[in-house]
Structure 1
């Protein structure tokens, strides 16, 4: 039986990927030591996802509580399954700007060092496997803030005549800008994944995601914007808008659609360190103010919220993804959750029971 190795297997993308590939008949090897709880406290714990995966997937899922910074442990796992590994999905990360600034060594060790450990494990034990890296649009730093943005009533928007009006493409520079320490560590990992593809001619790919969301996320104040916003509304927790007048814009893609994009690449892999921007694009994007309005419409009640003018350093004012490179290479891929409302309604419906006791 072919094996899919997933790091961050109890997180948002990892969980969706584990269920997807187990459903296709693959054996899934999950690597996740629940560092999200260390980063964000009990609210960020993903243990509930681990329990659900082991219960629902049974023998199709094997879990290892291993830190990706531990190269020896990773080598032990890879050597055990080396003849059967067909795909590696690397979704483990320290994902917060603010947390990275508090502990840069840990952030870089997880995001960059952990990625290097996995690439080396692939090189030594399964060099013909496909390596998919969940990168981030933060590799572009604050370059998007130099675009000719226009302030509207509920959002910032870009000049319709600009070449990036339909979204930011992979051609945007990642150089000479502020990234945040998190963005820098993810960029280092991104370049490593590209280089292993180019230098060794491996089947590696970086998917630079926008806001990845869905019902399986353990959203917290510092990470998981849409999921956390809905959680606040459902539990009566006040929400704090961080800067940019609440008009900053993000495109949002559902985790299921992320995984089907991964699978499209897996079934027709390209060698040489490919890079794709991946997000909701023009079909699924929202400002913070607009997201609050949507939450209130879905819930049928007001969301208590406050505003602080202190935005996060290096944060994007406006970011929408240009999907054209990926959809040109993989025209068969289509988003199931084609609007931000569909994503938010999914989060609401599937978390009614889980969040009920938090009110």
Structure 2
């Protein structure tokens, strides 16, 4: 592959993707206009990430807003002829923020994705197109599963088919409350599938759990583990919203997710959908994550509890990744939860 275009190139998954592609000898055009700082404030800015990427010899940056069709077209007219892959990670990623500005959320998540798909179809239709979707496309359907409360977490009943491996891709995305964010991602998710099935493009949808890693610019409204560790290390107060702090998330390190992207790039399919997350390999409740952060950092977290949960929030979500593992049996996890948090802790300490 001569060249790849990566949107959200300075974010957690985008930057990891750029570095992996660069290490594999692929030139990268990064598209990122640092809207994360607009969403979550200066502390969430990705400007430092951009600086590190621009130090790489095969990286070129385009500070383009993916809602701007003219600018997206300009980039693809310039580079499309050589592009072998488009990895679309740019997004507005927060439930709560989406409700503040639904037009902005839909513009970035749905319209921006449409722009990237159509530009790919017009200028490099043979390129592999990877989309970073979310488990929030299932809305609050997971909350109807038979759940059992334990001392530190909610857990699915042992006799349920999802108990062994987690939630698979057969779960319906209909008849549920998604949140505004979840709905905009559904629109994008389905369109990426359609460009694969209708136009025959090589598109892959990766419905992520909690995506994490030391490069995450964690903020209160997005970046669960990164922000939790930041608060633990710095002494900043942390709030838990609902479900007694026993809500369960699976967490996948950015390295492992991008490694999955790499396997798909080498043997792409059309219109494929994968649940991808920490699975039974790496998951935790809020209370369990707090305990682990305190163990690793040697500090106590100053946390409080708010009774009301966030709209569309999952009580228990663990991804069944067996479909992807069946299609790509050489893909394996490198990071478990403790190793991931140890890296995040080291990054937090180094940034002080």
Same topology, TM > 0.5: yes
CA–CA separation in structure 1 for the residues paired with 2:46 and 2:260: 24
Q: 1:350 aligned to 2:350?
A: no
Which residue does the alignment assign to 1:191? 190
CA–CA separation in structure 1 for the residues paired with 2:5 and 2:233: 34
CA–CA separation in structure 1 for the residues paired with 2:80 and 2:154: 49
**Counterpart mapping for 1:133-172 below 5 A:** 133-165=131-163, 166-172=165-171
SS of aligned partner of 1:116:
helix
Which residue does the alignment assign to 2:18? 18
Which residue does the alignment assign to 2:121? 123
Q: 1:228 aligned to 2:206?
A: no
Per mean C-alpha deviation after superposition, the further-off stretch among 345-354 and 291-300 is 345-354
**Counterpart mapping for 1:7-156 below 5 A:** 7-55=7-55, 57=56, 59-156=57-154
CA–CA separation in structure 1 for the residues paired with 2:86 and 2:203: 9
CA–CA separation in structure 2 for the residues paired with 1:60 and 1:236: 40
CA–CA separation in structure 2 for the residues paired with 1:71 and 1:128: 21
CA–CA separation in structure 1 for the residues paired with 2:20 and 2:147: 39
> CA offset at residue 196 of structure 1?
0.4
Normalization by structure 2: what TM-score? 0.99
5+ unaligned residues in a row in structure 1: which ranges?
Answer: none
SS of aligned partner of 2:64:
coil
Q: How many residues matched?
A: 351
**Counterpart mapping for 1:138-287 below 5 A:** 138-165=136-163, 166-271=165-270, 273-287=271-285
5+ unaligned residues in a row in structure 2: which ranges?
Answer: none
CA–CA separation in structure 1 for the residues paired with 2:113 and 2:263: 22
> CA offset at residue 129 of structure 1?
0.2
Instruction: Describe the superposition over 1:48-96 as per-residue Cα deviations: whole angstroms up to 9, x where unpaired.
Output: 10011112x1x31100110000111111111111221011100000001
Equivalent pair of 2:233/2:299 in contact (CA under 8 Å): no
Normalization by structure 1: what TM-score? 0.97
CA–CA separation in structure 1 for the residues paired with 2:114 and 2:265: 21
Per mean C-alpha deviation after superposition, the further-off stretch among 2-11 and 342-351 is 342-351
> CA offset at residue 351 of structure 1?
3.0
Instruction: Describe the superposition over 1:272-304 as per-residue Cα deviations: whole angstroms up to 9, x where unpaired.
Output: x10000000001000000000000100112111
SS of aligned partner of 2:252:
strand
Per mean C-alpha deviation after superposition, the further-off stretch among 43-52 and 121-130 is 43-52
> CA offset at residue 350 of structure 1?
2.6
CA–CA separation in structure 1 for the residues paired with 2:349 and 2:76: 39
Q: Which 4+ residue blocks in structure 1 deviate beyond 4 angstroms?
A: none
